[in-house]
C-alpha cells in the first residue's frame, strides 16, 4: 500500500522564526542602549550639578580680601551641597549620589606670591619708591668715607668719654676746669666760646626723654649703643646689597607687605593701598607690618622697628650736621675746649684729638634728633632724607622706611607671616576644591582652582 504524501512545508515559517530571533536581539540591544543613554544622561546631569556646586562655592570668594589684597579665596563656611541638590531636583532626580566635597587647596606661599605679582600688574603704584634704597646706599657710603665708626670706637675706648660725660652733664668744677684749660692752651675769647659750648651742651641734654618713650636709651657717657646703631646700619646695608632688588617679584613683595597691611600708625591716619580703612578689616589697631618685618609682636616689634629707624635717621642726621661746615666748626670749638679740659684735669695723662670728640658729639646730637624724627614719623608725618640749601630732594614716611627694611628680608619669611595675618582676619582660606560622586556608570571627580593660581 502506497504511503500518503506529507503536507508540504510553509516556506515562510522558518523566516518568521529567524526574524523573531533577530528582532529579539535588536530589541535587547535597543533596550540596553536606551538604558545606557539613560545612565549617560543621569551621569551628565550629576556632573553638571557637581560643576554648578563647585562654581557657586568658588564664586563666594571674599570680596574684601580681593579688593584689599588681590587674593581670590573662599572659606569652609561657603562649602555645602545645596546647589548640587537643587540642580538634580530641577532635572527630575529627587535622589542622587552623595557629593563628596573635599581636597580643599589651602592658600600657600606660591598662591600668595602669584596673587602679589598679579596685584601689581594692574595696581603698580609705589614701586618707584626704590629711591629710598638709593638714598640709603649713598648715606652708607658717606658714613664709611667719614670714618665715623673708627672715630667713635676710639672715643669710647678712651677715658675721655667719662670726662666728656661729666662736663656735659654739669659739674661744680666745670668753670674752674674751663679757666685752667684756657690759660694752659691760651684759648682766645673764652667767653664767646663758652656761649657756643652752652648751646651745644643744651642740644645734647634737651631731648625731653623722647628716646625713653621709644624704648631706646642713649647715654652721653656710653657710646656703645651708638656703635651698635652703626653696626646695625652697616649690617642692614650689607644684607640689602645681597638682596636681588632688581628682581621685580622681590620689589613687589616688599612694597605689598609695607604698604598694604596695618601698622603701628593710628587707623584714622592710615589705610591700605586701595584706600580701605584697616578698621573695616579688624576693629583694633594692629602691628601687622612690623610683625611681617621682624617676626615679633606687640611692643617688641615696635621697639625693634624703632631701633632700625633710629639707626637710619641717626646716620642721616649725622651726615647733614657733619657735612655742614658752619655747624661742624661750632662743634669743633666745643671739642677743642673739651680736649683742653680733659688734658688739664688729667694732668696730660689723657689726650684725645678734638676731631674725634667732634664726631662723637655730632653723632650724639644726631641720635637725639633721630629720636625726634621717629616721633614725627609716628604721627604720620614725613621726614627729610636729602636736601640742598635751596630745596628738599627726598622725604619719607613711616611706611617708606618699612619698605626699605623689608627689602633686606626674604620673601618666604614675609609671606609666611602675612598668611598668618590673613588667616587671623579671614579664617582658613582655600583656593580650590575637589568634588567626587558615584554616578553608577562612572565615578565623577572634578577639580577646580582659580586661574590666578595656575
| Predicted confidence (pLDDT) at residue 171 exceeds the cutoff of 60 | no
At residue 82, the pLDDT reads 92
Rounded-to-5 percentages of helix, strand, coil across the chain: 65, 10, 25
DSSP 8-state symbol, 128:
G
Q: Are residues 417 and 366 in the same domain?
A: yes
- pLDDT score for 381: 93
**Would you say residue 389 lies in a domain?**
yes
Q: Does residue 202 have a pLDDT over 70?
A: no
Chain length of the chain: 454
- Work out the pLDDT band at 292, boundaries 50, 70, 90: very high
Residue 185 has pLDDT above 60, yes or no: no
Give exposure, 246-261, as e/b (b: 16+ Cβ within 10 Å): eeeebbbbbbbbbbbb
Pair (179, 263) in one structural domain: yes
**Is residue 4 included in any domain, yes or no?**
no
Is 268 found in the same domain as 214? yes
Angle ∠(391,197,206) on CA atoms, nearest 5: 70
Residues 6 or more apart whose Cβ sits within 8 Å of residue 123: 70, 273, 274
Task: Decide if 390 is inside a domain.
Answer: yes
Please state the domain count of the chain.
2
Are residues 181 and 122 part of one domain? Answer: yes
> Could you tell me if 435 and 412 lie in one domain?
no
Mean pLDDT of 15-37: 62
pLDDT, tens digit (0-9, with 9 covering 90-100), for 347-389: 777 778 888 888 888 888 888 888 889 999 999 999 988 776 6
Question: Are residues 99 and 427 in contact, defined by beta-carbon separation less than 8 angstroms?
Answer: no
CB atoms near residue 225 (< 10 Å): 15
Using pLDDT thresholds of 50, 70 and 90, give the confidence band for residue 3. Answer: low
Question: Do 447 and 412 fall within a single domain?
Answer: no
On whether the CB atoms of residues 49 and 96 are closer than 8 A, the answer is yes
The pLDDT, as a whole number, for residue 166 is 72
Tell me whether residue 8 is in a domain: no
Give me 229's grid cell.
646703631
Distance of CA 277 to the CA centre of its chain: 18
Evaluate whether residue 113 is within a structural domain: no
Residues 183 and 94 in one domain: no
Assess whether pLDDT exceeds 80 at residue 27.
no
| Confidence category of residue 62, pLDDT binned at 50, 70, 90 | very high
More confident residue, 262 or 321: 262
Backbone angles phi, psi at 357, to 5 degrees: -65, -35
Give the span between the Cα atoms of 258 and 82, in whole angstroms.
41
CA dihedral 217, 220, 223, 226 (to 10 degrees): 50
Domain that holds residue 339: 118-425
- Is there a single domain that holds both residue 129 and residue 59? no
Contact, 398 vs 259, CB < 8 A?
A: no
- Say if CB 40 and CB 432 are below 8 A apart: no
Q: What is the pLDDT averaged over residues 295-318?
A: 89
**Residue 1 resides in a domain:** no
Domain match, 66 and 156 both: no
Beta bridge partners of 392: 387
Contact in structure between 92 and 229 (CB atoms under 8 Å): no
pLDDT at residue 34 is higher than 60: no
Under 8 Å between Cβ of 251 and 127: yes
Q: Within this chain, do residues 190 and 312 fall inside the same structural domain, yes or no?
A: yes
**Per-residue pLDDT, 331:** 85
pLDDT of residue 111: 94
Read off the pLDDT of residues 69-89 as tens digits, 9 standing for 90 and up.
999 999 988 888 999 999 888
- Read off the pLDDT of each residue in 108-120 and give the average, rounded to a whole number: 91
pLDDT digits 0-9 by tens, 217-271:
666 556 666 677 777 777 777 776 666 555 668 888 988 999 999 999 998 889 8
Q: Domain for residue 5, yes or no?
A: no
Residue 88 and residue 152 in one domain: no
Do 284 and 146 belong to one domain?
yes
Residue 7, domain member (yes or no) = no
Whether the CB-CB separation of 108 and 73 falls below 8 Å is answered with no
Q: Rounded to an integer, what is the distance from CA 231 to the centroid of its chain?
A: 23
**Best mean pLDDT range from 2-6, 121-125, 425-429:** 425-429
For residue 201, pLDDT beyond 80: no
CA 137 centroid distance within chain: 21
Q: How confident is the model at residue 288 (pLDDT cuts 50, 70, 90)?
A: very high
CA atoms of 369 and 359, how far apart (whole Å): 15
Contact (CB, 8 A) for 334 and 362: no
DSSP result, 259-297: HSS--SS-GGG---TTS--GGGT-SS---HHHHHHHS--
Element (H, E) at 446: strand 443-449
Across 137-146, 158-167, 334-343, least confident range: 158-167
Instruction: Please write the tens of the pLDDT for every residue from 414-452.
Output: 999 999 999 999 999 999 999 998 877 778 899 999 988
Amino acid at each position: 500500500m502506497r504511503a500518503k504524501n506529507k503536507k508540504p512545508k510553509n516556506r515562510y515559517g522558518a523566516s518568521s522564526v529567524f526574524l523573531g530571533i533577530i528582532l529579539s536581539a535588536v530589541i535587547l540591544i535597543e533596550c540596553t542602549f536606551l538604558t545606557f543613554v539613560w545612565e549617560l544622561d543621569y551621569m551628565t546631569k550629576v556632573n553638571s550639578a557637581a560643576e554648578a556646586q563647585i562654581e557657586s562655592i568658588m564664586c563666594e570668594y571674599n570680596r574684601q580680601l580681593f579688593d584689599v589684597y588681590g587674593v581670590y579665596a573662599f572659606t569652609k563656611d561657603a562649602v555645602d551641597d545645596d546647589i548640587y541638590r537643587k540642580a538634580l531636583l530641577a532635572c527630575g532626580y529627587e535622589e542622587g549620589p552623595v557629593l563628596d566635597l573635599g581636597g580643599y587647596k589651602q592658600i600657600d606661599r606660591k598662591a600668595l606670591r602669584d596673587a602679589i605679582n598679579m596685584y601689581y600688574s594692574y595696581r603698580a603704584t609705589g614701586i618707584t619708591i626704590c629711591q629710598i634704597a638709593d638714598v640709603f646706599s649713598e648715606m652708607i657710603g658717606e658714613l664709611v668715607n667719614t670714618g665715623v665708626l673708627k672715630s667713635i670706637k676710639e672715643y669710647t675706648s678712651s677715658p675721655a668719654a667719662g670726662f666728656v660725660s661729666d662736663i656735659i652733664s654739669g659739674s661744680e668744677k666745670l668753670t674752674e676746669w674751663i679757666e685752667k684749660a684756657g690759660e694752659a692752651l691760651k684759648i682766645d675769647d673764652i667767653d664767646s666760646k663758652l656761649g657756643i659750648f652752652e648751646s651745644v651742651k643744651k642740644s645734647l641734654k634737651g631731648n625731653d626723654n623722647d628716646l625713653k618713650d621709644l624704648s631706646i636709651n642713649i647715654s652721653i657717657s656710653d657710646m656703645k649703643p651708638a656703635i651698635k646703631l652703626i653696626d646695625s646700619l652697616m649690617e642692614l646695608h650689607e644684607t640689602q646689597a645681597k638682596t636681588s632688588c632688581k628682581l621685580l617679584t622681590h620689589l613687589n613683595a616688599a612694597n605689598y607687605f609695607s604698604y598694604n597691611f596695618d601698622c603701628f600708625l593710628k587707623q584714622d591716619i592710615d589705610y591700605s593701598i586701595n584706600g580701605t580703612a584697616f578698621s573695616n578689616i579688624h576693629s583694633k589697631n594692629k602691628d601687622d607690618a612690623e610683625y611681617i618685618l621682624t617676626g615679633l609682636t606687640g611692643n617688641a616689634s615696635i621697639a625693634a622697628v624703632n631701633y632700625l629707624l633710629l639707626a637710619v635717621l641717626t646716620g642721616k642726621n649725622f651726615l647733614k650736621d657733619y657735612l655742614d661746615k658752619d655747624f661742624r666748626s661750632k662743634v669743633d670749638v666745643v671739642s677743642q675746649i673739651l680736649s683742653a679740659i680733659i688734658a688739664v684735669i688729667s694732668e696730660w695723662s689723657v689726650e684725645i684729638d678734638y676731631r674725634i670728640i667732634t664726631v662723637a658729639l655730632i653723632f650724639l646730637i644726631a641720635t637725639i634728633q633721630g629720636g625726634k624724627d621717629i616721633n614725627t614719623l609716628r604721627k604720620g608725618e614725613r621726614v627729610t632724607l636729602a636736601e640742598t640749601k635751596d630745596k628738599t630732594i627726598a622725604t619719607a614716611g613711616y611706611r617708606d622706611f618699612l619698605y626699605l627694611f623689608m627689602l633686606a628680608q626674604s620673601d618666604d619669611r614675609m609671606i609666611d607671616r602675612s598668611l598668618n595675618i590673613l588667616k587671623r582676619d579671614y579664617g582658613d582660606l582655600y583656593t580650590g576644591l575637589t568634588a567626587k560622586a558615584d554616578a553608577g556608570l562612572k565615578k565623577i571627580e572634578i577639580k577646580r582652582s582659580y586661574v590666578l593660581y595656575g
